[in-house]
A = this chain, B = another copy of it.
Amino acid sequence: MQLIDEDKIIDISELFKIFGDSTRVKIINVLIDNELCVCEIANIINVSQSAVSHQLRILKASKLVKYKKNGNCIYYSLADEHVEKIFKLGCEHINEL
């Protein structure tokens, strides 16, 4: 039996906790193949600017999104392919239920 150590288990659960909120999953969904600013995200997923910003901070802190400034706006995108991969695996699981 290959037991993963406590610290790593906690990291893993923290990672999935990030994916465990529908607002964050919506944000991740719209950022697949897209680079969008905060207010675009807020409009598309129909969530308040403040709520989106709060959630982006969490996504940023866990390095699931990256961002770049351009003039007045801050454009967010997914940090790497892993994020999309995890999202899609979740989709698959749901679709097979």
- Which residues of A line the B interface, CB within 8 A? 1-4, 8-22, 24-26, 29-30, 32-34, 44, 63, 82, 85-87, 89-94, 96-97
**How distant is the Cα of A85 from the Cα of B89 in the complex, in angstroms?**
8
Bound Cα distance from A21 to B91, whole angstroms? 20
A25 to B91, CA, bound (A): 19
What is the CA–CA distance of A34 and B2 in the complex, to the nearest angstrom? 10
Counting every copy of the chain, the complex holds: 2
Contact indicator A2/B32 (Cβ below 8 Å): yes
In the complex the two chains form, what is the Cα distance from A93 to B89 in whole Å? 13
Indicate if the CB atoms of B82 and A15 lie closer than 8 Å.
no
Please give me the residue from chain B that is nearest to A64 by CB atom. Answer: B93
